[in-house]
Amino acid sequence: MTNLESYYKKFDEDHRLKTRHGQVEFFVTMKNILAAANEKALQGQETAASGNCSQAQEAGAAKALKILDVGAATGAYSVPLSRQGFDVTAVELVKTNLEKLRAKHEKVKCWQGDARDLSFLDDATFDIVLMLGPLYHLHTEEDKLKALFEASRVAKKGGLIFCAYTMNEYAVTQYCFSQNKIKENIAAGQIDKNFKTISRDGDLYSYVRLEDINALQKKSGLERVKIFSPDGPADYMRRELNAMDEETFDLFKNYALEISERPELLGAGSHLVDVLRR
């Protein structure tokens, strides 16, 4: 069993996005996915007809879209998207996660597979491809690009790819400094002189900076549509979020959505999502 499999066998993935800081991440990410789906549906209507379509037609077209969720885990996004009527295919590497997803008996087509090799899926099949986890666990640029190239291959022309990354500064501040481990991390060669994390095979996570994401985007040959922080300050405010009443928490979620693309805040949160077009 790999370190990744051991980790997810113990980790309650279903619970993660039900915490308040997780709800912020889910809310902002899902808003962006649904906005992209509606945009793709409208484009399809304009191509197929004259562009004059009813709201019901637009909604029906949106739900006919094919969505691929690579690294679907236990279905945090696959399941609600399927329940909204989208045609969802889920790919998950970790058998334990996949078994939990299948046990939910949802209308999600499930495959066990690696983001770097989606050869069991046909070219140009999906309107939207989600990679909201695999790039966290791939350590080399070569492996990250393999995953990006595979996502691009299975996406339709003009299809959108959501690529999530875990961020360097969150890891350094919240683990290395907050837990007073910075000196031992430096001594172990896990942090360089510029306070950049150094991930190796066997490590669970690979942490990046915005310039790393920009380099991957350019080398992938994909066009950036937008880049956003799905959680913003939420991971730094777990105690405060838990203390909020529902009305205040709803305001915070909308605040996080409002500031999610502000350039001065990109890279400060625990994640970034790069939205790319094939």
Phi/psi of residue 11, nearest 5 degrees: -80, 135
| pTM exceeds cut of 0.85 | yes
188/244 Cα distance (integer angstroms): 39
**pLDDT, position 11:** 67
Angle, to 10 degrees, between the axis of helix 3-10 and the axis of helix 95-102? Answer: 40
**pLDDT, position 50:** 52
List the chain residues with pLDDT less than 70: 1, 3, 5, 7, 9-11, 13, 45-63
C-alpha separations of 9 from 1, 85, 102 in Å: 10, 30, 15
102/195 Cα distance (integer angstroms): 41
**pLDDT, position 57:** 53
**pLDDT, position 118:** 98
User: Model confidence over 131-150: pLDDT tens digits?
Assistant: 999 999 999 999 999 999 99
**pLDDT, position 59:** 54
**pLDDT, position 42:** 80
240/226 Cα distance (integer angstroms): 29
What the block records as the tokens of 53 is 């379509």
- Residue 214's contacts (CB-CB under 8 Å, 6 or more residues apart) are none
Range 3-277: architecture per CATH: 3-Layer(aba) Sandwich (3.40)
**pLDDT, position 56:** 52
Report which of 145, 129, 121 is spatially closest to residue 278, judged by C-alpha positions: 129
**pLDDT, position 17:** 81
46/188 Cα distance (integer angstroms): 57
